Structure formats: structure tokens, C-alpha cells
Chains A and B, each alone.
Chain A
Amino acid sequence: MIVTDANSQQNRWKHLHKVLTNAGPYCDEDWIPGEETITALESSKILGAGGLGCEILKNLALSGFKDIHVIDMDTIDISNLNRQFLFRQADIGKPKAEVAAAFVERRVKGVKITPFVGKIQDKDEDYYMQFKIVICGLDSIEARRWINSTLIGMVDMENPESLKPLIDGGTEGFKGQARVILPTLSSCIECQLDMHAPRPAVPLCTIATIPRQPQHCIEWAHQIAWQEKRKDDTFDSDDMEHISWVYNTAMERAQQFHIHGVTFQMTQGVVKNIIPAIASTNAVIAASTTSEVLKIATSCNPYLENYMMYAGEEGVYTYTFEAEKKPDCPVCGNLARKMIVDRNSTLGDFIDSLGERAEAQLKKPSLRTEEKTLYQRFPPQLEEHTRPNLKLKLHELLEDGEEVAVSDPAYTIDFRYKVIFNK
């Protein structure tokens, strides 16, 4: 028989309740510990999302939160089992959000976890408005930027409830970071974008004509040979037959050029852009983000302002600092961000470079100035109409220092850049 009286609940949460009913030396002097704080904790509705989801749900449930929502679009893959501890071999193929929510509800009595299988982008402002705090362990920069700009767009200065703290965590191998974002008040994901620059892409001409590395051969098989030989099949990086084809094709090319080192593992890594991931790093980062959620929800200790980076290759190294809020941040600032360009490069080259520039990272941009549309991808008539601009040089289209608004289908907002010609 399971005892469910109030006494057992008090015993169960006694460690947590001790820190919520006693002030500590680092607490704000005005903080009032006790029942009210516990009630505030239990009534806070929290949203979690992303690849750190298993750890985050466990930690939130054992931090005393009672109403947790979780969003995840993915299904369980065999390669998740080395770290996503709520999933078993038999769960492969099932939606992560549902399996994880059911597991934690079963294990931790009294917590309600509501799963949504889908993308964060499927939900609107009304949905996000119901939460007290949003915590994300997302694996793509694109998703992070989307939730960041959405939460910033929701802030209504007249309504303090509209400000939803965003706690973000991410890992790569033995490294990771945790950050706290108070939309419009502190540095945001977009302010910090250039701290997470994308890896430079290998030039297409190297891949096409002068491969030197095994990765170049894999890129060739993936990007060029597939288009030539199998353009009717849509490439699917989860289809083993597709990966094998790319692997074998890359092997042939490598042999032709006497290049060593193409392996199946490397092929998968290149075409799926695999980032190494282990349970321990995920545990460190997820717990540091959920610890911040607990502190924000209860004020039982000061929260992180605003960034902690972690590196575990050499002992335990963390660096905690305050990232700056940038006045020219395209999302939370009100000035256009400077971007230095070559006046002689074409609009087409400039658009391609936006995908790689650390301060932009926009894959499908459309551009306009206050006066004219430079390039518009949609509708098709407008695309056709603006396409000739792609061949023109930047100085033929823009004045030095002119402002350009860039939109991208991945985001709901426009990014403003001030284009400066280099000397």
C-alpha cells in the first residue's frame, strides 16, 4: 500500500524544503523563505524542449515542479541510448516526448508532464504565454534563435507576466554551456551568435576537382554524385542504404585519388553533421540549467548572470561571465548590426556568404532596403523579377552604410544590417 498523506509528502521533499524554508548567505535580503516559496515553486508551469530533455525532465520533477510541458519532434533512435536514459531498445521509433513524459510521471509521484510531439515552431505566442519559464536543450542554432526571438517579441512592458526567462543549455563532446536570458533585459541568443560560429564549409571547387581529404570525397559523393546518379531519390541520412551508397561512392573516389581514411563512421559523421554526445556532459549541462530554473522560480539563491561555459577535457573547467547585451542586436537591440563587405562582390555571393558569416548564419535570406527589394525568394514572380540582381555588384545596388533588412523563412523577424564597404 502506498501512503499518500501530507506527512509523507513532507518527508519526501525535506531536503528541498530545507533550502526553501531557510535563508542562505547568498540570498537576496528581501527574500522570504517558507510556505509561499514552496507554493510558488509547485504552481510554476515550465516548458522544456530538446535533446537534453531526459535529464531536464528528471531534474525538474525532482526539483518539486508539478506542471511540466515538453516539446520534441523526434523519435527515438538507437544512437540516443548511450545518454537519453529514459529510453530502451524497445522504444526505438516511438516519439521521445511521449515516452519520456510517461516514464517520469510513473517514477516521480505527483508530477504532471504534458508532451507535445512536434516542433517548437508549431506553437504560437498564446501557447508560450502560459508558462512561467522556458528551458531548452535544443540541438540546433536555428531552433534556439527562433524561440529567443519569439519570447523577446512577446514582452509587453505593461505586463510583467509576459517576460518569460529562457534557460538554454547545449553540449558538444566534453564541452557545453548554460545561459540565462531575460528577454529584452539581458544579452540574448542573437547577441551571442558570433560566439558560436559555424564550421567553415569546404569550397565546392575543392570537392569537385581537387579532393585531398577523405571528407572531401564523402562530400563529393553526397553533394555531387547523388545529384548526378540518383536525383529522383530524396537523400535520407537515416536510410542505411543511402549512407552505404554514399560510403561506397566516396570510397571509389578516394581510391581514384589515392586518398586514405574514408570509413563508414566518418561518412555518417559528415553527411549527418554528427556532434559527439555523452551522458556525463549532458548531465552537467542539464543540471546546471535546471538549477537556474529552480533559483529563478523560488529566489532561493541568485541566478546565473548570465553565461557559464564548461570544458571537461582537462580536469573540470568552467568560466562564468556576463555576456553583453548588444545595442545592434537584430532581435533585442534597436540599431542595425554592422556588416563589412567587399563592394565588388555580387549580391549572389553576398547572399551565399550570409549562411556562413558568424553574425548572420541565415540559410535562405531575402533582402530589401528601405527603397527597393534586392532579392525575394517568394512568390515566384517576385523571385524571377529580382533574380537579375544576383549578378550585380553590391556597389551597384547599395550605398556604403545603407541599411538592409533580411528575412529568412526560419525566423519570424527581420534582421537589420548596416552594410559597410571595406577599403
Chain B
Amino acid sequence: MAQSFHGGPTSKERKYDRQLRLWAASGQQALEDSRVLLVNSDGPLGANSTGVSGVVGVEALKNLVLPGIGGFTIVDPAIVTEADLGVNFFLEEQSLGKSRAEETCRLLRELNPDVHGYFNSQPITDLLHDPDFLPQHKLVIISGPTKRSSLDPLIQRAQELAIPVLYTHSVGFLATFSLQLPAEFPIVETHPDPESAQDLRLLHPWPELVAATSALGDLDAMDDHQHGHVPYILLLLYFLEQWKQAHGGNAPGNYKEKTEFREFVRSQARTSNPEGGEENFDEAVAAVLKTVSPPTIPSTIREIFELDQCQNLTGESVDFWLIAHAIHFFYMTHGVLPLPGSLPDMKAQSADYVSLQNLYKAKARRDVEEVTSTVRQLETQLDRRVPPIPDRDIDAFCKNAAHIKVVHGRQIPQISSNSDAVTLKAIRSQLGIPDSLVSVFIATQILDGVVDEIQDESNDRRFINDDTLWKSHTERILALLTRDDPTPLDSEVRDNINKAIQELRRAEGGELHNIASLAGGLVAQESLKVITKQYGPLDNTCVFDGARSRSEMYRL
């Protein structure tokens, strides 16, 4: 169906309307250009038990298929059992005994005819032999617990290819998941709160803005109507000029001076009119503390400018770093970032507001032009073999320059003999916080160890509820926790870890639909942010405790 009339939405825009308001056409395009890999099981959990039921993964895919992900691949060697039907909505009676990869793929595809679904019943380790298999995907979701011999090569290979990975666990009332991002994961469209995204430059006005303030003339000479409709930004600039004249050319700097300035502005409002006050002055008074400040550059942006990728460009540098470099150059030249150019609504006559808005827009446009010309010079100097950076990307970067973000991705955290010291240290410091949910993460690490041993083929008599197995892996993990910091774990910490283990073991590795569905929602939310490169992704581990209805996140 094409457009039904001029300017109206297409049927696709109507179907996706509620999400396009969050990530716009650019986010939608990124989504449609992506295929996601779900590795949903990897062998049985002991002699008597089938493998992971993989509900988190299937529920996450549901939440990606509905908004129109380009495609998905389900890798799952399992056969559908009765227990699957009690927990997985994307299986039906006729699925019993069939390939779970094929059946879940079929029922997920029904959700959205725009999405391509693929399945494969081979184990993931076999598929990794094909060098073309993994690179077809933009994101990998792995349903844990997965044995190390499958997990490690998969996350290693994904890291080499800079493909993000989500590794999930959902057992009984508990769920955890970690996100592995590339070493540098830049985001331009972070969607800051519109209020914090405003940069009005009241203490750093450019000549045209100064001229607009002078053009006001004498406020006292205005009639009540005019006086009550001067946009508050011009009011503040006008009174700042008066303040500076009385204070040796200095603007109000500290809190005390700003409060004095605020009272000064308040005193200039006319109260003799029928309303007993003026709305534009109220707005000006309310804006003083927030907007009368010198333009500063957030420390996060300063850090990005100082990164090697930003400082030393090469022919291989991606677009993000070229623009960041150009904006850094702009900052060095002018001492400010490019102007975002947006103006909040304020009491004013239509024409006055529009002309003030045009001043901000024009300045923002000039700043973008300057950055663009630097970018074009860099492109020539570096002799890049990729298409020129689209103007709209430079524009978006300039508008959001104060809010860009670079996430320094870390590998899927594990507690093992070759664990990163950072991971162990972060866990130890979390353990010092009463009631920290990091004990749930530790319990899932113990579960991974138990499952790893069960799935070892020489050991096919092991059972998931074998006490000795749990005991030995608990001791092993607890010993690792004191590897770098030999201070013994106190009894409360051990008690919390034991409780988390007990809650996990209560379900014998099984998923509860509610918790799996909730975790599937969270995992999809993170997938969407990673694929669209918008908003802020998890960095890097989340625990949800359904017994106590709360969650925490950690950088492990």
C-alpha cells in the first residue's frame, strides 16, 4: 500500500507508529538491516533432564520480530518436550517431538511477515566451522547455562568480529544477563532529556544575539503588552548587561550572585497590570540558576576527545572518530561546542519568537558548516576509500555533541581461573553492599560450572541436583573471589550467596515463564539500543530478582 493521500503515512508507518516516535526512521532502518542470532541450547542438563528451555531467547526474539528486525536465526539442537509446552508460548501441541529450532522459528515468523526467520539444529560449535556463518549477524543472544567449550569460542569469535553478544540466564525467580560490546562502542543519538540538552549561550552570546538584545531598546519605554511579551532569553541578556555594568563587567558567577541577579530580574517585572505579574518574567526568574552559566564541556566529552582514536586518525578510522576529531578542532578554536540550536518554548509574540529561533538555528547551521568543512578536509587528507560521511550524520553529531557517548565494551564476565582482575574486584566491592544482588550473579556462575561438568561427555551419570557437584563448584568460585583480595568473605556474604544458590536450585535449572518473559523484554530492550545505536546500553551486567521484585546493574 502506497501513501493514501499527500503527506499521510504509509501502512508501514502506521504499523510502526508507536515505536517510530522513539527511534525514528533511522533507528527503524538500522533494525531492518540487522539479523540476530539466537543460540538457544547446547546439550542436556544431566542424564535425566533436557537442556535449557530457552524461553528468554524466544521471548526476546518476539520483542524484536514485532518491531520489524530484518531477520533472525535460531540455533537449537533440542527436540520439543512436554516441559517445553508448559513454559514456551511459541510451541504448540503438534510441535512435540519435532525440532525446537524449526518450531519456534515457524511460530515466531507468524508475528510479522516483514521478518525473515532461519533455523538450524546443529550445535553452535559445528556451525562456527563455517567462517561465513557468524558474520551474517549483527548481534548474538546466547541462552545460558552453556558449557565453556561452546561459549568461549563463540564469544571470542564474536569479539573479533565486533559483534555484540548477550549471555542470559533465567532460572526460577532469578535472571541475569551480560552484554559484550566492542572495545569502543560510540553512540551519537543518546536522547538526553530535552531540558538538559538546551544550550542557550547566555554568557557567551554571539554578535547577532547581542544585536537582538540591543534592538530591544529601553524596556521601560514599552507598553504593558510589549513588556509582557519580550522572550525571557532576551530579558536575561538585557539584565545581564545591566548587571555587568554595575559589577565591573563580570556576570553573576557563584550561587549567591546568581540568586541576587534572580531577585533583580524579579524586581523588574510589572505588577501594576490586571494580572498582577508577567509570565515572561516568571519564566526568566525560573531559568536563572539553570541557564546563567558559562558553557562547559562535560568531562565525558573531554575524555572522548583525548582518546587515541579521536586524536590519531587513520584511513581506517570510522565516521564517528572523524566527526569527533573535527568537533574537537572546533572546540579548540572557539572554546565551545557547536550550538545545538534548539530553543525552548516561551511566552512571546509569534514573530518575535520565530526570529529569535532563527538566530539560534542560523548560528547552529554555521557551526555545522564549519565542522563539515573540517570533516571534508580530513576525508581528503586521509584518503579514505569509503563513501563521504553523510551531511545528516555530521548534523546530528553537532546537535548532540555535548551528549555523545563511547561505551568501552568488556567481555562477558566470568568467574574463572583466567578471570579479569577488574571483574573480581567489582564483584568484591559489590559484596560489601548489604543485600546486593551480585550474589545472584555468583550463583549463576556456580550453575555454569555445574552444567559444564554435567555436559562433559565422559561424565554422563551426573545430575543437576547432585549436592557434591554444587558443593565443589561453590567452593571453587568462592576461592576465586578471594584470589586477588584474600580478606575472607564474611558470614553474611556467604549467607546471601547460599540463599541465591538455594533459590536457583529450587527450580532445578528450569525457567518460569514470567521471569523468562521479563528477562526476554530486558534483553530485547538492550538489543534494540545496541542495533539502533540509540539511547544508552547496559554496561555490562544486570540481575533481576523476581523473588524480591528488584534489579541491579554492574560493570563487571
Contact = CB atoms under 8 A, between A and B. Distances in A.
B114 to A, nearest CB: 10
Given A85-B66, A264-B7, A283-B517, A278 B345 contact: no
Contact of A269 (B21, B111, B357, B551): B21
A82 B22 contact: no
Interface residues of B, number: 86
Contact of B81 (A11, A16, A174): A11
Interface in B504-548: 506-508, 510-515, 517-518, 520-522, 524-526, 528, 535-539, 542, 544, 546-548
B499 interface: yes
Contact of B173 (A276, A301, A315, A320): A301
Interface in A127-153: none
B350 interface: yes
Contacts of B510: 14-15, 18
Contacts of A280: 63, 521-522, 524-525, 528
A22 B551 contact: no
B547 A302 contact: yes
B106 interface: no
A277 B18 contact: yes
A304 interface: yes
B208 interface: no
Given A58-B517, A257-B351, A274-B21, 11 more contacts: A2-B93, A19-B506, A24-B506, A24-B547, A59-B513, A79-B14, A247-B7, A258-B354, A283-B517, A284-B518, A313-B191
Contacts of B257: none
A87 to B, nearest CB: 10
A283 B553 contact: no
A22 B220 CA distance: 79
Contact of A174 (B53, B111, B525): B525
Given A173-B22, A315-B553, A318-B551, A284 B83 contact: no
A338 to B, nearest CB: 24
Among all A-B residue pairs, the 9 with the closest Cβ atoms = A15-B510, A283-B521, A287-B518, A284-B521, A62-B513, A11-B82, A25-B499, A314-B536, A291-B514
Contact of B345 (A2, A11, A78, A213): A213
B520 A78 contact: no
A302 B499 CA distance: 14
Contacts of A378: none
B15 interface: yes
Contacts of B113: 89
B501 to A, nearest CB: 9
A278 B22 contact: yes
A15 B81 contact: no
A185 interface: no
Contacts of A292: 549
A278 B19 contact: yes
Interface residues of A, number: 83
Contacts of B514: 59, 62-63, 287-288, 290-291, 294
Interface in A275-305: 275-288, 290-292, 294, 301-304
Interface of B is mostly: mixed
A8 interface: yes
B59 interface: yes
A81 interface: yes
Contacts of B89: 58, 62, 107-108
Interface in B3-19: 4-5, 7-9, 11, 13-19
B88 to A, nearest CB: 8
A279 B7 CA distance: 27
A94 interface: no
18 contacts: A14-B82, A16-B86, A19-B512, A25-B499, A174-B535, A212-B350, A212-B353, A258-B354, A265-B21, A274-B17, A276-B18, A276-B21, A279-B66, A288-B549, A291-B546, A294-B512, A308-B549, A314-B535
A81 B536 contact: no
Contacts of B466: none
A232 B63 CA distance: 43
Given A25-B502, A240-B4, A284-B525, A315 B19 contact: no
Contacts of B548: 26, 301-302, 320
A59 to B, nearest CB: 5
Contact of B521 (A247, A259, A287, A314): A287
A178 B552 CA distance: 17
Nearest to A12: B86
A201 interface: no
B85 interface: yes
B550 interface: yes
